[in-house]
Amino acid sequence: MTRSVGYGRMELHHGFETPDLPMRRVIVLVLLGALIPLLPSPSSAAPVCPDSLSTADQTRCLMKELEASDRQLQQALMGVAKEAKQVPGPTFQTLWRDNLKGFYKTSADPMQQAEAFRANRREVCAYAKSVGFQGTGYGITTTRCELALTRTLLNELKP
């Protein structure tokens, strides 16, 4: 039995009204639209080094990822330094260098910036783990933290 209702046809099956095919598509699209914000973002969908690995394998995996991220960071910082040198006039160069040297106690040299970032990153992540002071996994937790901070900076440095 079929009857017309509003925007689409409704069919009666076993006493229940079900929408016809075009109306079903609309319903599915509306439901998908409502569920998409609830899905995890691609970056948080799967950890870089899954927890299913042994502690030793996780540590090796995370260290490898952190080293790769550190290399990317050095390249990105070199790109920033190169870009800064291309800014015309002495004002920007002076402000940039003074800010790095005076306030942040580092230099305009990308290698020194990377080293300063790594040292501060280690300190922040060690502090964060100490504040939480729950359970074991100090090395894995702090390395994941360091990796996350490095990736955050890399995202900030994207052109």
Q: What is the pLDDT of residues 59-101, one digit of tens each?
A: 999 999 999 999 999 999 999 888 888 888 878 878 888 888 8
Is residue 32 scored above 50 in pLDDT? Answer: no
List CB contacts of 50: < 8 A, sequence separation 6 or more. 58
pLDDT band at 135 (very low <50, low <70, confident <90, very high): low
Average pLDDT, the chain: 75
Structural domain harbouring 28: 2-39
Query: What pLDDT, on the 0 to 100 scale, is given for residue 136?
Result: 66
pLDDT band at 58 (very low <50, low <70, confident <90, very high): very high
82 with 119, same domain?
A: yes
76 with 99, same domain?
A: yes
How far from the centroid of its chain's Cα atoms is residue 18's Cα? 43
Cα dihedral 78/71/99/87 (nearest 10): 20
Rounded Cα distance, 130 and 58, in Å: 20
pLDDT band at 141 (very low <50, low <70, confident <90, very high): confident
12 with 69, same domain?
A: no
The highest-confidence range among 61-70, 95-104, 118-127, 135-144, by mean pLDDT, is 61-70
The encoded tokens of residue 86 equal: 């291309």
Domain count, the chain: 2
Is residue 115 scored above 50 in pLDDT? Answer: yes
The pTM for the full model equals 0.64
- Helix orientation angle between 55-85 and 138-157, rounded to the nearest 10 degrees: 20
More confident residue, 121 or 38: 121
146 with 91, same domain?
A: yes
Is residue 35 scored above 80 in pLDDT? Answer: no
33 with 11, same domain?
A: yes
Percent of the chain with pLDDT over 90: 31
88 with 122, same domain?
A: yes
53 with 35, same domain?
A: no
100 with 142, same domain?
A: yes
